[in-house]
Amino acid sequence: DSGVTQTPKHLITATGQRVTLRCSPRSGDLSVYWYQQSLDQGLQFLIQYYNGEERAKGNILERFSAQQFPDLHSELNLSSLELGDSALYFCASSQRDSYNEQFFGPGTRLTVL
């Protein structure tokens, strides 16, 4: 158990819909990262938040957005969903001034029908 929690574990929805994925980082970790793992694209970094502020962006689509709240949990919002958005979405967390080891949550499996 990495200490990072993600809900829900599975999510099935239809094209055009909007969903929200939730992540709680390890206690004391200020950085949260979101990754997408799909058969086509592999594992891709989407976005990072540090202590409530956006820190870095990767290959995140404009239909996707994220935020980190004062209690440090984070949410990833996916809208206008397409079939190709079906993937495993990971959240990871890390401390700022450590070896920057990122601890991954168990992931949310999103299926878009």
> Which residue, 81 or 89, is less far from other proteins as judged by CB?
89
The CB-of-55 to other proteins minimum distance in angstroms stands at 4
Stretch that binds other proteins, among 19-27, 66-74, 79-87, 100-108 (CB under 8 A): 100-108
| Size of the chain, expressed as the number of residues it contains | 113
- Position 44 contacts other proteins (CB under 8 A): yes
| Per-residue mark of binding to other proteins, 1-40 (x: CB under 8 A) | -x----------------------------x-x-x-----
Helical ranges in the chain per DSSP H? none
Determine phi and psi for 11, rounding to 5 degrees. -150, 125
Residue 8 neighbours by CB under 8 Å, 6+ apart: 21, 108
Q: Which DSSP state fits 83?
A: G
Residue 36 neighbours by CB under 8 Å, 6+ apart: 43, 44, 46, 59, 87, 88, 89, 90
- Position 99 contacts other proteins (CB under 8 A): yes
Contact residues for other proteins (CB under 8 A)? 2, 31, 33, 35, 42-48, 50, 55-56, 58, 88, 90, 92, 94, 96, 99-104, 106-107
